[in-house]
Amino acid sequence: MIFIDVLNGVRVIPKRDTYMQEGRSRQVKRGIFTIVVLLIAVVAFSGCNKKPLPTQAEVLPPPPPPAAPIAQLTATPTVISAGDQVQLTWRTMNATSVIIDGIGSVPTAGVKTVTPTQSTTYHLVARGEGGSADASARVTVNAPVAVTVPVTTITPEEEFKANVQDIFFDYDTADIRSDAQATLQKDANYLVSHPDIRVVIGGYCDERGSNEYNLALGQNRADATKSALVEAGVADGRIRVVSYGKEKPFCSDQNEQCWQLNRRGGFTMAR
């Protein structure tokens, strides 16, 4: 029904009137024919509507091509702050389908309220039998006032990672290196001051050597790391150890830099 109403509404162009009227109401046209036939009264003929007489040309001109659609789109207001509303208003003619980008199919005329979060150009495309037309409306969104209150987004895990750092080992040994002592002291300090945290120490090895022996070696590395923490005052019961051997490498290249990264005692928070 809306569709037909729209078509009727479109017929405001005078030139199209005769054609559209003929198309719309055959009943009226047949009445005119009957009168004409009676007036002339020469012979009765059939199929008169298919074969109009020359005199009928003034009454029924040949149908013109379908008219091109016309579209109009406005936004009110055109400048807003983030979070404010904008009213989009659109009208079209000769259109059978209307689409607004980002909104989808809409009636051929209407009003819609939108809340853009950033500057947006709304773009409308109207399609009809006579082609298509488009229209656009630009809404400028001014940025909101910046929040000046700093937000703490660091999670307990991130804080743990930042304060409890992994230590590294020399090749084929579980001895704590001198450069690991300072790291371990910092790790222990953090853990002592956060007595609720439980920790898992993973023992890791580089890819060289045998899987089973590396599991034993990784166990020794994890144990050595644990002993150092316990010596520095972390309660034994808060620490669990697991050897990953060479099964869970951090780095898979075949060079000393990568192997060093994989020879470690690694800390994670226990779940």
Partner 1 sequence: MKAPALLRAFLPALICILVFVSCAGIGAQDWVRTGTNLSNTTIRLAASDFKPVGADPQTPTLKSVFDATLAKDLDNAGIFEMVSKSLTPQSMPGAPNEIVLSQWSADPANAAMVAFGALSVNSGKLAVYGWLFDTRNTANPQVFGQQFNEAASPEMARTIAHRFADAIIYRLGGGVNGIAETKIYFVSSRTGSKEIWSMDYDGENQQQITHLGTIALSPRISPDNSRVAFAALGDGGWSVRMYSFDLGRLVSFPAGTAGGSNQSPAWSSDGAKIAFSSARSGKPEIWVADASGSNLRRLTAFGTDTSPSWNPRTNSQIAWISGRTGLPQIYIMDMDGSNVQRMTDGGYAVSPNWAPNGGLLTFSWNRKYGPGDPGGQDIYVMDIASKRWLQATHESGSNDFPAWSPDGRHIVFERTIGGHAQIWSMLADGTHQQQLTHSGNNFMPNWSLK
* 211 is a site residue for partner 1 (CB under 8 A): yes
Closest approach of Cβ 156 to partner 1, in Å? Answer: 20
| Three-state DSSP class for residue 14 | helix
Minimum gap (Å) between residue 241 Cβ and partner 1: 8
> Which CB sits closer to partner 1, 231 or 247?
247
48 binds partner 1 (CB under 8 A): no
Question: Which stretch, 16-24, 106-114, 158-166, 210-218, contacts partner 1 (CB under 8 A)?
Answer: 210-218
Distance CA 68, CA 66 (A): 7
Per-residue tokens: 53:
């007489």
Tell me how far, at minimum, the Cβ of 201 lies from partner 1, in Å.
11
The nearest distance, CB 106 to partner 1, in angstroms, is: 48
Q: Of 81, 85, 121, 254, which one interacts with partner 1 (CB under 8 A)?
A: 254
Longest dimension (CA), the chain: 127
The answer to whether 249 contacts partner 1 (rule: CB under 8 A) is: no
Site of tokens 């929040």: 147
Is 229 among the residues that bind partner 1 (CB under 8 A)? no
Give how many residues touch partner 1 by CB under 8 A. Answer: 20
Exactly one of 220, 232, 261, 269 binds partner 1 (CB under 8 A); which one? 220
Alpha helix stretches (DSSP H) within the chain: 2-10, 17-24, 26-40, 156-163, 178-193, 211-231, 256-262
Residue 254: CB minimum distance to partner 1, A? 8
| Distance separating alpha carbons of residues 268 and 235, to the nearest angstrom | 16
- Give the burial class of 85: count Cβ atoms within 10 A of its Cβ; 0-12 exposed, 13-18 middle, 19 or more buried: exposed
Q: Does 134 bind partner 1 (CB under 8 A)?
A: no
Regarding 243 and contact with partner 1 (CB under 8 A), the answer is yes
Which amino acid belongs to residue 28? Answer: V
Range 143-172, binding partner 1 (CB under 8 A): 171-172
Our finding on whether 241 is near partner 1 (CB under 8 A) is yes
Are the CB atoms for 63 and 16 separated by under 8 Å?
no
**158 Rama class: left (phi>0) / alpha (psi -120 to 50) / beta:** alpha
Q: Which residues bind to partner 1, rule: CB under 8 A? A: 171-172, 209-213, 215-217, 219-220, 223, 240-244, 247, 254
